[in-house]
Amino acid sequence: MRKRGNEMSRDYAIRATSFNNQVRGFAAVTTELMSELQKRHHTWPVASAALGRTVSAGAMMGMMLKNEKDQLTIQITGDGPLRQIVVDADAKGRVRGYVKNPAVDLPLNGKGKLDVAKAVGNGTLHVVKDLGLKEPYRGSVRLVSGELGEDFTYYLTVSEQVPSSVGVGVLVDRDGSILASGGFIVQVMPEASEEVVDRLEQAITALPPVTKLLHEGATPEDLLQRVLGEEMQVHHRQAITFHCHCSKERIRTTLKGLGKKEVQQLLEEQGEAEVICHFCNERYRVERADLEELLQEMEADDDPSVKDAAE
């Protein structure tokens, strides 16, 4: 659980219900996760704000997945200077993400805030869920504002047909570091009464900015209780961590997928290969000997006599 003050803190998310299960909610603090991503990708403030909002939404949507092996990918593509935001999350709270153009600098918007809407622009929000079935679930909606909280609200309400309200935010310090990141998702179940819906709307309208609450030390429980009330019941708590499953072996597989001609060309022209993971920005250097070995493996795979001997 996240701790207050100067003690070590830890990101986590919760899932809860209220009003006799007429409403369910999720809330998350992702400050450490977003700090890790900011350092890895060197995101400028408006890029940090956009990526952090998406990361928080992804972490909470990951909690909606039913099975441990389920995972989802969020892709936001717009005509703004950020160009694209990609976030992966799974049911275990492991999250990674990046923004295509991390070095975007824009004037503050009319409210004196980071202009995420202009940085994202017009475009589409895509969600792909790998649920272990033959084909992944795919859903997409047009961006309605580019502020992302409203866009995730629209996606969940329209594409997944669950009336929702999403509030996500990131507070960035003057030096670009992350002071606070997190948010909430509240969803109304089909049996919810009009009275309950009205109470939710009033509570959400009266809610101070998410970043203000988080910076003051609010926990996920604090955030959600302001909306769901004292009768809120927490059913699950889950740590949220940065995790990238890239590895040197995966890089070898990627190079192998390029084909013999391309690997041979790398060997002849550069004598080595360097591959950078989009998600974690780690650099993998593949030495000449490794490329030669990889090329031999590819040639053996294509040699019928080798296949016959193996059989």
Output the domain CATH number for residue 252: 3.90.1280.10
The Cα angle at residue 46 between residues 33 and 214, in degrees rounded to 5: 50
Tell whether 176 and 278 lie within a shared domain: no
Q: How many domains, in total, are found in the chain?
A: 2
Tell whether 228 and 266 lie within a shared domain: no
* pLDDT at residue 308 is higher than 60: no
- Residues 171-203: tens digit of each pLDDT: 999 999 999 999 999 999 999 999 999 999 999
CATH code for position 112: 3.55.30.10
264 found inside a domain:
yes
Tell whether 281 and 264 lie within a shared domain: yes
Amino acid at 305: S
Tell whether 232 and 291 lie within a shared domain: no
Task: Indicate the range of 121-130, 186-195, 287-296, 301-310 predicted with least confidence.
Answer: 301-310
Q: Which of residues 242, 258, 291 is at a domain's end? A: 242
Residue pair 179/172 in contact (Cβ under 8 Å)? The answer is yes
Name the pTM for this structure.
0.86
Tell whether 149 and 36 lie within a shared domain: yes
Q: Which of residues 216, 242, 268 is at a domain's end? A: 242
- Residues 90-114: tens digit of each pLDDT: 999 999 999 999 999 999 999 999 9
Domain range for residue 292? Answer: 248-303
Tell whether 258 and 155 lie within a shared domain: no
pLDDT category at 45 given cuts 50, 70, 90 is very high
Tell whether 152 and 276 lie within a shared domain: no
Name the DSSP class of 106: -
Tell whether 142 and 291 lie within a shared domain: no
Tell whether 128 and 274 lie within a shared domain: no
Q: Which of residues 223, 242, 261 is at a domain's end? A: 242
- Residues 224-264: tens digit of each pLDDT: 999 999 899 999 999 999 999 888 787 778 787 788 888 88
Average pLDDT of the chain, as a whole number: 90
Measuring CA to CA, which residue among 223, 225, 211 is closest to residue 53? Answer: 211
121 found inside a domain:
yes
190/57 Cα distance (integer angstroms): 22
Tokens representing 23 are: 């409403």
